[in-house]
Structure 1
């Protein structure tokens, strides 16, 4: 049976940790693949002052939240040069410039409103059903088949309700807008509407997204990649020749310049491997690498006018079948003291700082994420990938001991785009953060639907704080705005993505679970499996979901329905 237009599923796209990866649309199950649906015309709304929905009161959860702090006294001159962390914190606590994070969900920067006054999330989906005082979601949302995160963000910026909401809070200041995914169209929209897009130019980000460009920039400043050669190869024989000439052997990893590393990284050791992936490789320059036994480590950083501030190092959860149907697919992060220690931590931090300084020469500034690869046989540290954007690891970065000792890492990005100057000691901050990282234990899991078929969700896990009761069962404790108040491993926070009335299918993002402590077994460099606690948490959240199976049969579902989207390698 066909799905009524008012109940059709819409793409839930959130931040991807890898490059500006295009997320495919989550389409309604129909008997045949339909053409892209055009957005229904928006109603012409009368001009009126925006008011909060009835019953929604911005009740602070902490007495120190900047969201509820007073503005700076009108007569006091704005400080133009910030010289220490105390002045930085005061600047944000009294900030009177409206700052917005735009996205499908607020996941990446959730909780930042605790630190920044006048910080608001503009999202397509509302996991709190109107109860979060700093999240605004349009009420009128006609059915649209989004093809990417950029499409969702551009739709939000054009939306009449969103524009009215922003206009009512302008305070005479130009609104500042940040997001994960954007393009040249986003820049044109912001220019027309009088918003400041506080991100590097889209053209520069696209240029730096290339794995080939990243490799060459790293080589220029002594930031090595895994032994490689860049070449155009159109046959198995040409690949073998290029690899042997570069001393790489025949057990190879081939990457194209752009795309999600989980989908555009090919492992080739024989001609049959080449035949399987030849269509994706021939006709363009690729990066051919020696295959090594490595462990990936993620780290975020911000390039400021005073230097590069390096965040905490995190390991990754990848390919766990309890979390994702995609082999090798990213499905979370862990931060714990042993991720990198001693010389390895020093080497990796130096690699990130040198790369950040080189990006500055390209005109880049602000937030970026780096995947570092550690060779488990030699302890060599290599540059993996550069993601010039906010990432899925940002959620953990913002709750570290370093963040609470100083400020969350993303605030250094904001300082680059606000009307202030920095005169801070970046080296001192990096040294302190490395020391404080030794006491932090945080983890997050992206929980995807792993079963085949399509279902209309009848019940789902609510957003909020969960805890283990005396019998060991994970129970919903209370509504919560974010995960910042978690105290120990018996507690967890779940951010719902799909809920009642939505659809779920193989690969759909159900939500994100954040908790203290580790979720994988083993030491760094050893094969990792999910802990007993992690499996219990996953099963407990999934138990909240029930649904009604939908027809037509799976072979009539659009081909891209199960494509890796949403948070992806968030």
Structure 2
């Protein structure tokens, strides 16, 4: 008899029945966490041996390709494809019986082929649902129309046809242009003047295309940028509550890189009106049902814009894969006592015999959550190195002082709102840092966003600034 999942306890019971080993594959061990709270046998294969790797390894078995060599890196690409194709990884996975199911951030055709050859189950949709289809902003705008979802006033057009005067007349002095297949804010251009428009036309990301690309042009909407996570299951569409995205935060990104630069999330401060929440749930439902008809299953994310004046919620783009909120979101869900959406994602691909009480699970997933994450980058727009390193784990910020408390890597290791965690790729002293390289994440139970301007509040600013300064990042000599 199949279990009907109504809560976290039921979900844990279902995973106790799963016999197939589950393995996460990623660059850093932290990146591929998220299922360890549901199954004790979960393990991770990763590339980098960072300061947090041995801390995680005490609880979750980690096979690391660079174990023992934290500064001298292997000569390979820094992505999951390179990790999976490595001969040592393949040898390690072949020893795991029965053959494991593998969790990736984002599948590629090479990953898909390697999994078929190795007999490993890929806990992800085929890459055909990526940048040439659902993830393509031009195509996704058409999907919104098919679903009967209002779009931000705008159009799709070819770059070769764009004229500043026409766009200025149509959308006003401020409008937005988005490249079809660039994420993380790297393909978003805010146009406030003719100079901004000319900069877009001549930008290297535009010139990289072999033929003039189709783009999305929209009116500029004044308001915050919430997002949510949804999951297509055999029983229906699951979705979380809205979360704030941290975008264009100068303490976390060098803003010369572009606009709409993703820097983290805030769940603790994410309180929206019933009108906005209802729109979010309806949008997730409609898009999820459309994806189900396409054969898609599992997790997808929706980035949105909220018109501050009208409380109208617009969808900007879709990410058909695991998201930048992972593994933080499933960790927070467990701390919050709600079922993990990542668990349902895995079960859909495992084709396990179970049922879901969709209404009851959604009611829990859509309630208020604690927590935030700030993602720090090298703020120097050049190659650099860090002259100091920080211990991974829990720190306390109280009375203007920062004090290290204990090791840790999970929200469950935090005891109160004065504490924060440093984790995820924390660089060893004298690591080589590329321009704008991601350095680490700062996790806390409290909110860090200032709801007046959607930048960091004072606590978030103080913590992010202190952490960055402690690394003593110094430009390399020419």
Instruction: Place the TM-score, normalised by the shorter chain, in its bin.
Output: 0.7 to 0.9
Unaligned runs of 5+ in 1: 1-78, 554-570
Q: Which residue of the partner structure matches residue 433 of structure 2?
A: 504
Aligned-partner SS, 1:399: helix
Q: 1:197 to 1:266 in 2, by over 3 A?
A: same
Instruction: Please list the CA deviations of residues 253-286 of structure 1 after superposition, one character each: whole Å capped at 9, or x if unmatched.
Output: 1212111252222233544433222242882222
Are 1:366 and 2:298 matched, yes or no?
yes
1:129-168 alignment runs, 5 A limit? 129-131=53-55, 132-133=57-58, 134=60, 135-139=62-66, 143-144=73-74, 146=76, 152-168=79-95
CA–CA distance in structure 2, aligned partners of residues 196 and 542 of structure 1: 40
Q: CA separation of 1:91/1:81 partners in 2, compared to 1, >3 Å: closer, same or farther?
A: closer
- Per-residue CA distance 1:114-141 (angstroms, 9 max, x = gap): 2223211211123335341322202478
Query: What TM-score do the two structures reach when normalised by structure 1?
Result: 0.74
**CA deviation vs aligned residue, 1:262-313 (integer Å, no higher than 9, x gap):** 2222233544433222242882222121222131101111111111111131
Residue aligning to 1:473: 401
Contact 1:240–1:250, Cα closer than 8 Å, also in 2? no
Q: After TM superposition, give the deviation of residue 484 of structure 1 in Å.
A: 1.9
Aligned partner (choices 309, 317, 325) of residue 246 of structure 2: 317
* 1:308 equivalent in alignment to 2:246: no
The SS at the match of 2:242 is strand
* Alignment of 1:183 onto 2:112: no
**Measured at CA, do residues 338 and 178 of structure 1 come closer, stay the same or move farther in structure 2, by a change above 3 Å?**
closer
Aligned equivalents of 2:336 and 2:268: distance in 1?
17
Match of 1:415 among 335, 343, 347: 347
The CA deviation string for residues 310-359 of structure 1, in whole angstroms up to 9 with x for no partner, is 11311122222221102532111101354322111111111111111111
Shift of residue 543, structure 1, vs aligned partner: 4.2
1:214-254 Cα shifts (integer Å, max 9, x gaps): 111111112222012122242544x655786xx54564212
Match of 1:89 in 2: 12
Q: 1:193 to 1:81 in 2, by over 3 A?
A: same
Structure 1 pair 496–425 and aligned structure 2 pair: CA distance change class (3 A): closer
For 1:483 and 1:400, the matched residues in 2 are separated by: 7
Per the alignment, residue 225 of structure 1 pairs with: 151
Query: Residue 17 of structure 1 aligns with which residue?
Result: none
1:465–1:243 Cα change, 3 Å: same
The answer to whether the 8 Å contact 2:140/2:318 transfers is yes
Within the candidate set 354, 376, 398, 1:447 is matched to 376
Match of 1:117 among 40, 43, 66: 40
> Would you say 1:126 and 2:49 are equivalent positions?
yes
- Provide the rounded CA distance (Å) in 2 between the counterparts of 1:175 and 1:402: 24
Tell me the residue number matched to 1:427: 359
CA 414–531 in structure 1, closer or farther in 2 if over 3 Å, else same: same
1:513 aligns to 2:439 (yes or no): no
Deviation at residue 515 of structure 1 after TM alignment:
0.3
CA 1:220–1:454 in structure 2 vs 1: closer, same or farther (change >3 Å)? closer
1:284 to 213, 231, 243: 213
Map of 2:462 onto structure 1: 536
**Match of residue 129 from structure 2:** 204
Give, in angstroms, the shift of residue 450 of structure 1: 1.2
- TM-score of the aligned structures, taking structure 2 as reference length: 0.88
Distance 1:496 1:200, change over 3 A: closer
Q: Report if the CA contact (8 A) 1:255-1:264 is conserved.
A: yes
Cα distance change on mapping 1:493 and 1:164 into 2, 3 Å: same
Across the aligned residues of Structure 1 and Structure 2, the Cα RMSD in angstroms comes to 2.6
Between the aligned partners of 1:325 and 1:382, the Cα distance in structure 2 is 27
Against the structure 1 CA distance between its residues 145 and 264, is the aligned structure 2 distance closer, same or farther, given a 3 Å change threshold?
farther
Structure 2: give runs of 5+ residues left out of the alignment: none
Shift of 1:369: 0.7
Q: Distance in 1 between matches of 2:20 and 2:472?
A: 43
What does the per-residue CA deviation read over 1:156-195, in whole Å, with 9 as the maximum and x for residues that have no partner? 112233233323332xx22101111331111111111121
Counterpart Cα distance in 1 of 2:282 and 2:264: 25
1:215-294 correspondence runs (5 A): 215-237=141-163, 240-241=165-166, 248-249=171-172, 251-260=174-183, 262-279=185-202, 280=206, 283-294=212-223
Q: How many residues are matched?
A: 459
In our comparison, the structure showing a higher alpha carbon Rg is: 1
Secondary structure in 2 matching 1:511: strand
8 Å contact 1:106–1:121 — kept in the other structure? Answer: yes
Query: Offset at 1:455?
Result: 3.6
Deviation at 1:103, TM superposition (A): 0.9
Closer, same or farther: CA 248–465 of 1 in aligned 2, 3 Å:
same
